[in-house]
Structure 1
Amino acid sequence: MADRWRGVAVDIAMTRTVPWRVFTLNDPARVILDFSELDWAGLDADAVLAGSDKFTDIRAGLYRPGWTRLVLSLASPMVIDRAAMRGPVQAGDPTAMRLELAHASAEEFAATTGAPNSAVFATPAPRPMPSPKTRQTGFGDLVVVLDPGHGGIDPGAERGGVVEADLMLAFARELKEILLRAGGFKVVLTRDRDVFVPLEERVTIARRAGADVFLSLHADALAQGRATGATVYTLSDAASDAASQTLAERHDREDILAGVDLTRQSDEVALVLMDLARTETTPRSEALADTLVEGIFSATGSTYKTPRMKAGFSVLKAPDIPSVLIELGFLSSPRDRKLLQDEDWRRRAAEGIRDALQYWSIQDAANAERLRQ
C-alpha cells in the first residue's frame, strides 16, 4: 500500500489469479473487493492501517459460500481510478491485484457507488413463502429463531480479544441446547458458523421457519460512556436514547422490507398492510421483551439500569413475527466481558430466556383466546 498525492495504490499479492470484482459504497464510504476462494488468514489489518492514513478500518472474511470480501473504510471520499489483476507471464512471476484510488468530492464519490450488475452475484429467484402462520396457541412446539448477530465479514464489536460474532454464536448454540432439552421448542439458527448473513435474509429465514418468536442476540460496545448489564430492545422509529441510536446505526447496513409478500402492491398498500400486521404483533413483542427482562434478571441479576429500550433495528422489522433484540451485555464493560466469557453465567442467562419464553407462550396464548371470545 502506498499513499500518493492524488490518492493511494493498494497491491494484493496472491498465489494465483481468481475471479474478482470491486466497487464502492456510501454511508459510510468504503471500497469493497470480492474474490473467489481467497484466504485472508494472514492479513494484518493493524500493520496495513499503520502504513496509510487513507483508511480508517480494514476487514476481511467470508462473504458467501465460495467468496471472500475485503472492506476498506475510507477516511475521505475516493473513487476507483484503476483496478486490474496481473497474472504470471512466465513461471515464477508474481500474481497480484492492483487497485488505485483517487481523491474525489463527496458528490463525485456518491455518483460512482453501488455494486455492479453480475450474474454471479444476482439475487436468486425467490422461493415460495410458506402459508401465513397462525398465532401460537400454547399447544405444540414454539418455533424460536435465534439470530446470532454479525458474522463472517462483519465481526461486530471487539474488546479484549473477545469478538461479538463468535461469542453470540457460542451463546446461541448453548441456548438452543437448553431449549431443546426443556421440550416444547423447535429452534432454528440464522447462522451456525462464522458466515455473513445479510439482514434481510435473517428475517426471511425466520419466516420460512414459521417462527413464533425471533430473538436477535448481541453484545455490543460503546465508544463513550459506561454501560453494563443486559438490555432488551423492541422496534421503534425513534431510539430511546443516543446510545440506542448509535447501536442501531452500527447494526444496520441497509433498510429492509420483510414479513409479507408485497411485490405486487404499491407502497401505500404495503404500508397499510404492514401497519395492520404490527397492530397485533407490536404488543406481543412488547410483552415478550418485558418477560425476557424479568427472566434474565431473575437468572443472572445483571440487567442495564433501563433494561427495556427501543430502536430501529432492521432485524426487528418483520411485521408478523414477535421480535426482540437482546444485548446480553457490553463488551466495553470489563465486568460484562468477564461474565459473557463465563460458561456458567451464560448457562444461567440461557435458562432465564428459556423460562421467559415458556411463560410468555402461555400468557400470549391466553390473550389470543380472550380476543377470540
Structure 2
Amino acid sequence: MLNLIRWFSLAAIAILMLAGGAVAQAPTGELSALARLEPARSSMQVTETGLTLTLGISQPVPWRARLLDNPPRLVVDFREVDWRGIEGVRREGVADLRAGIFRPGWSRLVAELRRPMVIERAGMSTDGATTVEVALRPASAQEFSSKASVPEPPGWTLPKPAAISGGNPSDDGRFVVVLDPGHGGIDPGAETEGLKEAELVLTFARELKDLLMRDGSIEVFMTREEDAFVPLETRITVSRAAAADVFISLHADALAEGEAVGATVYTLSDEASDAAAQALAERHDRADLLAGVDLSEQDDMVARVLMDMARTETAPRADKLADALVTSINAAGLRMHRHPHQTAGFSVLKSPDTPSVLLELGFMSSEKDLERLQDTEWRSKMAAAVRDGLVAWARDDAARRGLK
C-alpha cells in the first residue's frame, strides 16, 4: 500500500470521496501510461452481500467509480485501460457488461445492474499486482436514486454539443457529406465471430470517404476517425458544424429475424416500419444510455415545435435521398433487404435541417452479409453505388430547390 501512496503522490493524484457513496479518484496530472486488463484476474461475481467487481490490471492508473440510473448502472472510468479480453471475463448478477474507449484518454466499464445497488467499498491495491475492487450491496430504490443523482465533479462530464447554426450549405457551392460510422469505443455494436460492427463500418466509412473526395466536388467529414465513443447528440452537432448537405449514418447490425439480409436505408419516423426496425432504433439509443450519457434533458416545447416545422421541409428531401441510394445500390446489382427503404425513430437522424439517412450495409447476423462486409471488392462496389446515389440526389435536389 505504501507503493500505491508513493505512486499517487508522484503522479499528483487527488483521491476524493464524493458525497452520497459514489467513489472518485480524480486526476490532476496528465498520465499517458496505458494499463492492460488481465482477464484471468478479473470477474463480476455474486457474493453473500451483493456483487463484487474485481479488475486485475497491469499497472496503477487514475480511476473512479460511480452509479447512474435508468437503467441502474455501475460506471468505472480509467485513465486508461486496454480492455482486450473483457468478453471472456466472468460476469454474474448483471444484465450487461461492456467496456471500451469513452473519450480520448479515458476508458470506461459499465455494468448494468439487475436491481438497485450501492457501492459499499471501492479501492485499488498494488500489493504484488494491481487490482481494483468495487463491492456493491442491495439497496432500496430511494437510496439508490440518492446515490445515483450525485452530480459529476467538475471536469468529468462530457462537453455539451455546441449550439451551431448550420446555415444553408448550398449557398457557397459546396456539397458536404458527413459520414457517421456507427458505434465505437465502449459501444462496439453487433459482435460475432470476433468481429465488431464498429470496426467494420469504420473501415467502410474510410474507404467511402476516399472515394467521395476523389470526385473533386464533394467535401467529406466523419463523426469519428478511430475506435472511439461519440454520443448521438454530438454526431448531429458534427454534422451541423460542417454545414452538411447530407448526413449518412453507417451500420451493420444483427437481428434474430431470418429475413434480416441485405442493405437497408432508414429514414426518420415516429412510426417504425416494423418491429425489427423499432428494435434497432431502441438499441441504438440504449447504447448511449449504457455508455453513461445523460439523456434526461429533453427539448422544451418551443424547441420541439420549431424542429418539427423545420423537418416538414427536410423529411421529403431525406426520403428522396433514401430512394436515390436504393436505386443506385440496386443498379449496382448489390443485395438489398426485401423492404429496402424503411422508417424508424433513430435519434441520430433527428437533425431538423439536414437530410439524414441510416444505411445498414448488411446484417452481421447473416452469414452471407458478414462475408460481403469483409470483402474488399464488395465494399468498393457499395461505396461506388453510394457515391452515385449521392450525386444523383444532389443534382435532383438542386433542381427542385431552384424551382421554388
Q: What TM-score do you get using the length of structure 1 for normalisation?
A: 0.87
Q: CA deviation at 1:22?
A: 2.0
In structure 2, what is the Cα distance between the partners aligned to 1:106 and 1:297?
Answer: 52
Name the structure 2 match of 1:188.
221
1:1-373 to 2 correspondence within 5 Å? 1=43, 2-41=45-84, 43-49=85-91, 52=92, 54-74=93-113, 76-88=114-126, 93-104=128-139, 109-110=144-145, 112-113=147-148, 116-124=151-159, 127=162, 129=164, 131-134=165-168, 136=170, 140-253=173-286, 267-371=300-404
Runs of 5+ unmatched residues, structure 1 = 256-262
1:71-123 Cα deviation digits (max 9, x unpaired): 2233x2141232322344xxx54432221122345665455435741212134
- Residue 258 of structure 1: aligned partner: none
Q: Is the 8 A contact 1:79 1:112 kept in 2?
A: no
Change (3 A) 1:124 1:159: closer
Relative distance call for 1:342 and 1:93 in structure 2 (3 A) is closer
RMSD: 2.3
Unaligned ranges ≥5, structure 2:
1-42, 290-296
User: What's the CA shift for 1:16?
Assistant: 4.2
Any conservation in 2 of the 1:34–1:67 contact (CA below 8 Å)? Answer: yes
SS in structure 2 at match of 1:233: strand
Deviation digits for residues 309-350 of structure 1 (CA, Å, limit 9, x no counterpart): 111111101101100000111100011111111111111111
Q: TM-score, normalised by structure 2?
A: 0.81
| Offset at residue 17 of structure 1 (A) | 3.7
Instruction: Please give the secondary structure, in 1, of the residue aligned with 2:154.
Output: coil
CA contact 2:122–2:135 (8 Å) conserved in 1: no
CA contact (8 A) 1:140 1:184 kept: no
* Greater length-normalized contact order (CA 8 Å, ≥ 6 residues apart): 1
Aligned partners of 1:115, 1:193: CA distance in 2, in Å?
Answer: 32
Q: Is the 8 A contact 1:85 1:95 kept in 2?
A: no
- The change in CA–CA distance for 1:107 and 1:345 in structure 2 (over 3 A counts) is farther
Aligned 8 A contact 1:16 1:87 in 2: no
1:81 and 1:123 map into 2 onto residues whose CA distance is: 23
Partner Cα distance (1:214, 1:126) in 2: 17
Q: Output the amino acid matched with 1:285.
A: A
Q: What is the identity, as a one-letter code, of the residue corresponding to 1:45?
A: E
In the TM superposition, residue 38 of structure 1 has moved relative to its aligned partner by 2.4
Percentage identity across paired residues of the two chains = 49
SS in 2 for 1:136: helix
1:64 to 1:93, Cα distance in 2 relative to 1, 3 A = same
Indicate the residue corresponding to 2:15 in structure 1.
none
Q: How many correspondences in the alignment?
A: 352
